Amino acid sequence: MALYGPHDEAKIKRLYELAVEIQEIFREADLSSYISDNLLALGRNISFVHDEPFRQAFEDNAQSADDTAKFWRLHTYCWTGRSALDVPGDFVELGVYKGFYSGVLVDYLEFAGSSKQLYLVDSFAGLAEAWSDPDERDNINPFYDWNGTYEQVLRRFAAYDNVHVIKGIVPEVLAEGMPEQIAFLHLDLNAAKAERAAIELLGPRVVDGGIVLMDDYGRIEHRQLCETLDAWWRDHDHRVLELPTGQGMVIRRTRPDGR
């Protein structure tokens, strides 16, 4: 179980102890409980835990405790990807790091046999100063190991002819080489300015019925990102669905006037 928030080890320890106690109470009552990634769900069906292809893809790709904590978040991500298979257009992921999310996705969807293309875009060097603020960089850059990450991701997807790993700073690298039609767009840049510029460029390419999933939209430490994306979507006649996983989701609907 993964819990975070208060910058106080004693308080985090107490939260963990309480969570264990809650789970034990529900277990004794033969009721379900889920506590991980700061998500606490009690008495839910959690039916996706019985999706064996998803579980296998997840377990085959998870490399750390931080990865395994994101089980529900990855289920949401894979659900959107599977739903987008029936929509015209390709897949684009902005913010890749070591390719955990996309690794689960391509295995789960058996993507090698798909006619769709997947574009994985990242600087593979952390947040750029021009497209992030100091707090965002302080929260990301020191805690990620960027040494050899790009080469690692290239190796991870080398067997997929329809997966393209693109190294560059978002949004600058999006000026060319992106698909004209996007069925699934995943934003995981952890930087409000970069995500706003990215959605400005690629949002109009998301087709009717296409899905945009924003990984950190609902997390309190990314309040600025949430407000920035909310404003863009409101200006384009859509509203973001905030999910308990910390993600935000929009299903694109084109109006009769084409907007």
Question: What confidence tens digit (pLDDT) does each residue in 9-34 have?
Answer: 898 889 889 999 999 999 999 999 99
Q: What's the whole-number average pLDDT of the chain?
A: 95
| Confidence at residue 115, expressed as pLDDT on a 0 to 100 scale | 96
pLDDT score, position 12: 87
- The helix (run of H) or strand (run of E) holding residue 213 is strand 206-214
Cα(248)–Cα(238) distance, rounded to whole angstroms?
Answer: 12
Q: pLDDT tens digit string along 155-213?
A: 999 999 999 999 999 999 999 999 999 999 999 999 999 999 999 999 999 999 999 99
pLDDT at 23: 94
Report which secondary-structure segment, H or E, holds 185. Answer: strand 182-187
- pLDDT confidence of residue 8: 83
pLDDT of 86: 94
Kindly tell me if the per-residue pLDDT of 258 is higher than 60.
no
Half-sphere exposure in the Cβ direction for 167 (13 Å, CA)? 12
Would residue 215 be called left, alpha or beta, if left means φ above 0 and alpha means ψ between -120 and 50 degrees? alpha
Q: Give residues with Cβ within 8 angstroms of 229, minimum separation 6.
A: 187, 192, 195, 196, 199, 214, 217, 240, 248
d(CA 97, CA 220): 22
Alpha carbons 178 and 70: distance in angstroms, whole number? 28
Q: What is the pLDDT of residues 89-132, one digit of tens each?
A: 999 999 999 999 999 999 999 999 999 999 999 999 999 999 99
Q: How far apart are CA 17 and CA 10, in angstroms?
A: 11
Q: Is the pLDDT of residue 143 over 90?
A: no
Q: What is the pLDDT of residues 59-94, one digit of tens each?
A: 999 999 999 999 999 999 999 999 999 999 999 999
Give the residue among 99, 51, 94 at the shortest CA–CA distance from 75: 51
Q: For a pLDDT cut of 90, what percent of the chain falls above it?
A: 90
Closest among 237, 240, 212, 246 to 228, alpha carbons compared: 240
Domains, the chain, with CATH or none? 1-45 (no CATH), 51-251 (3.40.50.150)
